[in-house]
Structure 1
Amino acid sequence: MGLGGCIILIAVGAILTFATDWKLDTVNVDLVGWIMMIVGIVGVFVYASIARRRRVVVPPSTTVVSEEERHGL
């Protein structure tokens, strides 16, 4: 799940929790909204940690050249 999917989960969860007043006998819509928001927030943190790990740049190792090798001695 990408960053966009996580943001959609947060938005839909917030809409279900705060903007609707549906009352269903079998499903607690507010609880479903909270769960969706929590999963979306966790997804954002996981995505951010994976993206941060991918951005680490390791500089190439350099070889040390001594003065004798440089002048061909």
Structure 2
Amino acid sequence: MFVSLLGVGAVTSIGLGAILAFAVDWQWEGANRQLIGLIMMAVGFLALAAFVGVYRDHDVHSGHDSHS
């Protein structure tokens, strides 16, 4: 359950970060919207890397062959 939630959260963070960084043109007073979007995307990519590592480790320990 946690592993799939991590994957969904990672993809969501990347998507929302990209929207904030590149697709909207409004400004927040006192906040840099593009920087917030880029940070969200970076966090999403780190979470995606963690998801892939945990998922791969889970497949190795559960006996499933992920290459076939």
* Category of TM-score, reference length = shorter chain: 0.7 to 0.9
- Higher RCO structure, 1 or 2 (CA under 8 Å, sep 6+): 2
Map residues 16-55 of structure 1 onto 2, 5 A cutoff: 16-55=20-59
In structure 2, what is the Cα distance between the partners aligned to 1:2 and 1:42? 11
Structure 2 gap segments, 5+ residues each? 64-68
What SS class does the counterpart of residue 60 from structure 2 fall into? coil
Amino acid at match of 2:9: G
Instruction: Point out where structure 1 has 5 or more consecutive residues left out of the alignment.
Output: 60-73
Decide which structure has greater helix share: 2
Distance in 1 of aligned mates of 2:28 and 2:58: 44
The 1-side partners of 2:6 and 2:28 are apart by 31
- Cα distance in structure 2, aligned partners of 1:32 and 1:9: 11
**TM-score normalised to structure 2 length:** 0.77
The runs of 4+ residues in structure 1 deviating greater than 2 Å are none
- CA radius of gyration, larger in: 1
Counterparts of 2:6 and 2:62 in 1: how far apart (Å)? 25
State the superposition RMSD in angstroms.
1.8
3-state SS, counterpart of residue 16 of structure 1: helix
Residue identity in the other structure for 2:54: I
